[in-house]
Amino acid sequence: MVFKRTAFAAILVLACVSIGSPRRALAQVTGLIEFREGGRIRQGLPLVSLAREMIVIGTDGWLHSIDPTEPNTQIRQLGQSYEPISVPLFRNQLQAEFGKGYEVVSTSNFLIVQPRGRGNRWPHLFEQSHRGFISYMSKRGVRTRKGRFPMVAIVFPDEVAMYTEFKKVGIDMSRVAGVYSILSNRVMTHDGRHSSIIAATVRHEAAHQSAFNSGVHSRVNDTPRWITEGIGQLFEPEAMTVTQTAGRRAERVNVDSLRELNQQGLANEDGLLATKIHCLVGSDEMFEDVKQVNQAYAVSWAVMFYLAERQPQQFAAILNHTASRPPLENYDRDQRIEDFERVVGMDVHDFGNRVTRFLRSL
């Protein structure tokens, strides 16, 4: 997943918004505005206003961070209500953006941009992933809603084309099979290399996209990364999105995450995993440490998988709580730990030891 640091991100780790959620907009903002960004005139709905920064969602779902005090921004109230772009117009815009070598395929929930002649494999994968995500969440009591925009997935013919696009849009990442950008609201991947690895990555990134478009996460509040990445890891196994195998727990295990935990000895002895969980619940520092980032993803999966399998009410409660937190409100360490312990009903270390015993049973 890709996120952007802006002025308001000083108090946010993820710069994210619950699309189409008017209760999150400031009271003085009532409708569509026109503004200039990057030399182009754009339209959108202001979601949050600060002294020197306004977060605006475009009619196509992009998030824009603009400075309302900058004369070149040229903000103008249009006196109209906000309406998302129509699907036919959006499709035409994507076709024009990517050119004749690509086709734009519509599904119930997506616009898939892919090289011509690729058939239905990619549309099926994205649609299946989203439907599986919504089904899984709804069965566990997580609040979901229909997104206001078709989700966009871009499939490039190879890694070179994908990384060229990354450079074009300012994404500084390497050695990845795909990303979800919360600013553009797009998943980007490529049609090459090991298909099983790419498919798992797509399910991970598609889970991010589904979460931010269905209200499971918010795009303008400080959601802990163990939650967002734990959800991504949770949906990497194919069984999570396939009805025939979704009922078998062994098939739902993220074997890469479990292997990492076993290799690091975190699943074998009480106390070790609990310490890591305490660190993740309190802050996102493990994700920012190259020596601990793999552990951070694996531990996040372990917590989410345990909650989803053994404490589904608490699984729903933690997601519903973080999705409904106020925008731009700092989520400090003590409050994160207090909220977690309140939801799971026990001390973090006691919870961690329960997760350790659960992992031994897998």
CATH number of the 8-77 domain: 2.30.30
Token look-up 């308001």 returns 8
Tell me how far apart the alpha carbons of residues 202 and 211 are, in angstroms, rounded to a whole number.
Answer: 14
Residue of 231, 223, 218, 221 lying closest to 136 (CA atoms): 231
Q: Are strands 102-106 and 40-49 parallel, antiparallel or unpaired?
A: unpaired
pLDDT given for residue 299 in this prediction? 98
Residues 19, 61: contact at Cβ < 8 Å? yes
Separation CA 309–CA 203 (nearest Å): 19
Q: What is the mean pLDDT of the chain?
A: 88
Residue 345, phi-psi category: left (phi > 0), alpha (psi -120 to 50), beta (remainder):
left
For residues 180 and 69, give the distance between their C-alpha atoms in angstroms, rounded to a whole number. 31
pLDDT in tens, 99-118: 999 999 999 999 999 999 99
The torsion region of residue 20 among left (phi > 0), alpha (psi -120 to 50) and beta comes to left
* d(C-alpha 2, C-alpha 184), whole Å: 10
Strand partners, 2: 181
Structure tokens at 331: 């989520």
Q: What is the pLDDT along the chain (362 residues), one digit of tens a residue?
A: 654 333 333 223 233 333 333 333 333 445 899 999 888 999 999 988 878 888 899 999 999 989 988 888 899 999 888 989 999 999 999 999 999 999 999 999 999 999 999 999 999 999 999 999 999 999 999 999 998 889 999 999 999 999 999 998 888 888 888 999 989 999 999 987 667 788 899 999 999 999 999 999 998 888 999 999 999 999 999 999 886 555 688 899 999 999 999 999 998 888 999 999 999 999 999 999 999 999 999 999 999 999 999 999 999 999 999 999 988 788 999 999 999 999 999 999 999 999 999 999 99
pLDDT tens-digit map of 317-326? 999 999 999 8
Question: Two tokens at 316?
Answer: 């729903």
Instruction: Look up the CATH number of domain 87-214.
Output: 3.40.30.160
- Check if the beta carbon of residue 286 is closer than 8 Å to that of residue 276: yes
This prediction's pTM: 0.88
User: Where do the structural domains in the chain lie, given as residue ranges?
Assistant: 8-77, 87-214, 225-360
Q: For residue 31, which phi and psi values (nearest 5 degrees)?
A: -170, -165
Cβ neighbours of residue 184 closer than 8 Å, sequence gap 6 or more? 61, 62, 152, 169
Q: Are 359 and 260 in contact (CB under 8 A)?
A: no
Alpha helices in the chain (DSSP H): 87-98, 121-139, 159-169, 195-214, 225-234, 249-252, 255-263, 272-282, 293-310, 312-323, 333-344, 348-360
